[in-house]
Structure 1
């Protein structure tokens, strides 16, 4: 199953704030993590549009694992390398421990986003725009 990924994070190289994965049928995972000290740009452009309360990282990982294990195979598509990095780091549970998930492949898509996000800088809206644009290639 293709899963379209977008993440919001606290500035370049910063910690994960929110992650969305949207499948080909419109089912999605969207969760928000706490960001106690957002950079100024993030505070103005990302934090006000998260649209839900934050959860602890362990709960985030539990929910992500449940979502991913709904599929037999997973092909994650993102249009930004840092999104893939934040996704794969989210699969690490601790030293020498990773989430058990179905077979996984990753794709860094360099196509053109033809459908603008309805709510720019909201991971769920951005992932939906990526899904729509990818399918038209």
Structure 2
């Protein structure tokens, strides 16, 4: 099954802030705890364009410590025998892969996973009320852009 991925992070090459997967079987939206976010020393652009939009009435994340993201992803993908993750930016895939590592030499147990990097633009989108730079809305917009 296809899952469309988007991540928000603290500037290019920065720490992960939130991660979302939007697919036919449902959605997963994760954000780091307030304590972890406060410790990031947010980039000015991120503080203005990302952090205020982490939690919206129609896009509320599960707030977890970053160390627990991998287990949440594991649980979300557990029933899909062959998930395919689609992203439009390489750094999103990098952050997803890092979440799956839970200790040196250990990763969460997930089904065989395929990754697909596409040259696609999620915006502008036809989805009304979409909020750019919110990981869940961006994943939804990418899904809409690719699948129509």
The answer to whether TM tops 0.5 is: yes
The CA deviation at 1:58 is 2.8
Please give the root-mean-square deviation of Cα atoms over the aligned residues, in Å.
Answer: 1.6
TM normalised by structure 1 equals 0.91
| 3-state DSSP of counterpart to 2:133 | coil
Which moves more between the two structures, 119-128 or 48-57? 48-57
Residues 88, 121 of structure 2: 8 Å contact kept: no
Q: Which residue number corresponds to residue 111 of structure 1?
A: 120
Partners of 1:8 and 1:62 lie apart in 2 by 19
Query: Which structure 2 residue ranges, 5 or more long, are not aligned?
Result: 56-60
- Deviation digits for residues 24-72 of structure 1, max 9, x if unmatched? 24x1000101322111110111000100573212332221110011211
Q: Which residue number corresponds to residue 37 of structure 2?
A: 35
Partners of 1:86 and 1:103 lie apart in 2 by 18
| 3-state DSSP of counterpart to 1:38 | coil
Residues 11, 42 of structure 1: 8 Å contact kept: yes
TM normalised by structure 2 equals 0.85
| 3-state DSSP of counterpart to 1:59 | helix
User: 2:109 matched to 1:79?
Assistant: no
Count of matched residue positions in the alignment of Structure 1 and Structure 2: 135
Partners of 1:11 and 1:108 lie apart in 2 by 20
| 3-state DSSP of counterpart to 2:81 | coil
Query: Which structure 1 residue ranges, 5 or more long, are not aligned?
Result: none
Residues 19, 135 of structure 2: 8 Å contact kept: yes
